[in-house]
Amino acid sequence: MKIRRWFIFGFISMLIYTGCGYKQASFNVGELYHDIYEEASQFHTIGQLDIIQKIVNRLGENGLTAVDLENQNQVNMTHPERLEEFCALVENGQAGEVEFYSVTNEYGLIRYHLTTKQSAVEVERTVFAWDQNKLEITDEDHYPAHQWTYSDGYLFFEKKQPAGYDGAVGYSAFRIEPLDETCRAMNRSYIQPIGYAANEMFLKDFTENDFNALDFSDLFNRLYPYVYMRSNPYQQEFDQQEYLVAAEEFEKVITSYFKIDLNTLREQVAYRDDGYVIQTRGFDNAGYSPHSVYPEVVSYTEHEDGTLTLTVQVVWPYKHLASAMTHEVVVRPMQNGTFQYVSNHVIRSKDSVEPTWYSDDEAPF
């Protein structure tokens, strides 16, 4: 199998070199990981990070620059030095080109071919999806990069969209600099379940001695699926909808992740008739948007008491920011495999920006 894959890669290189066409070359890239796709399709798995990681690794083993989907960046890029060199050419006004592949959640490909001259960048973007066990082109685009930013290990570029355009976002963010795998695992375990949508937990300072800044109604909705292993039944059907949740049900969710006294909890959340009154967020401040942000744990410290301090940066692709803000989260891993949130501290600096992704002008629905 390995010999066959290297033969395919050599054939792909020949196609590109001899000008036989990037389309045929990209179709053959699919052959490099067809076995991975075929196995995943048998089990009807879509968007599985471990499958995407396998595909990216396979492409990297065959000499290709590859990463997961744009604006997600959950997998380290293979052969990132090629994009680093290209970014240097752009900065210095020199001519050059680079090609790389992004693996989609459906295990298809997006091929990017970037060319530069006098610091201007042209982008060719071709989307390939699996159809009848073959890769087929589903979309093609060619545009000048309206904005181009290479900063803090991230590459951002975008297509200029007309005013009022409400289609697919025109910007792309790719992490070029690799991130420690332990940091990635901690991010998936401790930070992503909360995130920044429909809650502001990581935007506030709190400790186990003072939870006043937290909205436990928000956190109940975020954490419910992780405690009960099923979808949250208290969904937002209209603006600021209210529910009465049984005390035992609500308290089980919150105390699974926070060391909080029940009397304190009942003081902070409206409590009546042996239940808690929760209110969903309004549609204009939920933070769900095409322009959303996402967290990255960039470092961590282990303490003698068993707690961990995670340094988290907020990536905001829409604003071309690899670190829109930074906060430190302390968690306490428990012996049974669960954990508790101990504190959060927002690190304010001159480079921090306001979290306006919650507002109407930054979060159109």
User: pLDDT per residue over 243-263, tens digit each?
Assistant: 999 999 999 999 999 999 999
pTM: 0.89
| CA gap 303, 337 in Å, rounded | 18
Candidates 146, 90, 85, 150; CA nearest to 118 is 90
Residue 16 has pLDDT above 70, yes or no: no
Which residue has 């919650």 as its token pair? 358
| CA gap 122, 99 in Å, rounded | 12
Supply the pLDDT for residue 154: 99
Q: How confident is the model at residue 239 (pLDDT cuts 50, 70, 90)?
A: low
Contact indicator for 113, 99 with CB cutoff of 8 Å: yes
Residue 259: how many other CB atoms lie within 10 Å: 11
Supply the pLDDT for residue 8: 46
Residue 357 has pLDDT above 50, yes or no: yes
Which residue has 């979309």 as its token pair? 139
Supply the pLDDT for residue 286: 59
Supply the pLDDT for residue 229: 97
Extract the tokens encoding 210. 């003072």
Range with the poorest average pLDDT among 58-67, 89-98, 130-139:
130-139
| CA gap 145, 68 in Å, rounded | 21
Looking at residues 142-159, what average pLDDT do you find? 97
Candidates 215, 248, 219; CA nearest to 234 is 219
Supply the pLDDT for residue 235: 82
Give tens-digit pLDDT for 21-63.
Answer: 666 776 789 999 999 999 999 888 889 999 999 999 999 999 9
Give tens-digit pLDDT for 301-346.
Answer: 999 999 999 999 999 999 999 999 999 999 999 999 999 999 999 9
Contact indicator for 245, 233 with CB cutoff of 8 Å: no
Supply the pLDDT for residue 4: 46
Residue 178 has pLDDT above 80, yes or no: yes
- Which strand (E) or helix (H) includes residue 339? strand 339-347
Give tens-digit pLDDT for 190-230.
Answer: 999 999 988 999 999 999 999 999 999 999 999 999 999 99
Percent of the chain topping pLDDT 70: 87
Mean pLDDT (the chain, rounded): 90
Range with the poorest average pLDDT among 150-159, 176-185, 316-325, 356-365:
356-365
Give tens-digit pLDDT for 252-307.
Answer: 999 999 999 999 999 999 999 899 999 888 666 655 566 789 999 999 999 999 99
Give the fold, CATH level 3, of 184-194+286-358. Nuclear Transport Factor 2; Chain: A, (3.10.450)
Spans of all domains in the chain: 2-178, 184-194+286-358, 212-279
